[in-house]
Amino acid sequence: EPEVTQTPSHQVTQMGQEVILRCVPISNHLYFYWYRQILGQKVEFLVSFYNNEISEKSEIFDDQFSVERPDGSNFTLKIRSTKLEDSAMYFCAFKSKEKLFFGSGTQLSVL
Amino acid sequence: DQQVKQNSPSLSVQEGRISILNCDYTNSMFDYFLWYKKYPAEGPTFLISISSIKDKNEDGRFTVFLNKSAKHLSLHIVPSQPGDSAVYFCAAYDNAGKSTFGDGTTLTVKP
């Protein structure tokens, strides 16, 4: 099964600081996604990224969020100025043969 | 407006019996559906998928049924095993790649 590595596994930051979450799939793929899950709530779609462009984004994905694939392998989610309510588990995923494979997540804690 | 609903927050079954998890959706633009399993502190794990052109897909102990007219899908696990105990999410995708998850159903399989 394809693997997805997410770093860091846990990130603690102060409110207002910028954070960058990283995702590295083992093999090259075109479709990438970011999701988040606030503790006790459902998994929420943030953004889909196809061929180095955002193809779809949710209402959650406002101007504070951005995604990049800077070097063709790493896939990053940046939150420019974190808020308390950004505390959540963030999952990246990629699509392969109509299946989605998820990373183990980054737990973001905003203090 | 919750477009994907899993009305049962929890389900408990005896080992060896059938587990049936249900999911309802409202958006007729959804054309692809997936079921995921999630353990605490881990990313979701893909289980099985179905496209809107099919009404059934089977993979080992897992079978997904899609009733398009009722906008309803279900996941059958038979026979259920204690290792199946987890939170199960259904997710629906439109052709733009945007996905919506249900709230999840916690399945407990008792030995």
Q: Give pLDDT, residue A1.
A: 58
Instruction: Establish if B99 touches chain A: CB-CB under 8 angstroms.
Output: yes
What average pLDDT does chain B have?
92
Task: Tell me the two tokens of residue B36.
Answer: 């995921």
Give the range among A73-77, A94-98, B54-58 with minimum mean pLDDT: A94-98
Q: What is the 3-state composition of chain B as percent helix, strand, coil, each rounded to the nearest 5?
A: 5, 55, 40
Could you tell me if A18 and A79 are in contact, meaning their C-beta atoms sit under 8 angstroms apart? yes
Q: Hey, are the CB atoms on A45 and B104 less than 8 Å from each other?
A: no
Q: Hey, are the CB atoms on A48 and B89 less than 8 Å from each other?
A: no
Instruction: Establish if B13 touches chain A: CB-CB under 8 angstroms.
Output: no
Residues of chain A contacting residue B102, judged by C-beta atoms under 8 Å apart: 42
pLDDT in tens, A81-109: 999 999 999 999 988 777 788 888 999 99
In 3D space, the residue among A89, A66, A87, A52 whose CA is nearest the CA of residue A20 turns out to be: A66
pLDDT in tens, A2-36: 678 898 999 999 999 999 999 987 666 678 899 99
- What is the mean predicted confidence (pLDDT) over B61-88? 96
In 3D space, the residue among B27, B36, B25 whose CA is nearest the CA of residue B105 turns out to be: B36
CA distances from B50 to B23, B33, B43, B91, B95 (A): 13, 5, 21, 11, 14
Question: From CA A59, how far away is CA A64, in angstroms rounded?
Answer: 12
- What is the mean predicted confidence (pLDDT) over B18-44? 91
Minimal Cα–Cα distance from B63 to chain A, Å?
A: 16
Q: How confident is residue A64, by pLDDT bands cut at 50, 70 and 90? A: very high
pLDDT at B42 over 90: no
Residues of chain A contacting residue B41, judged by C-beta atoms under 8 Å apart: 105
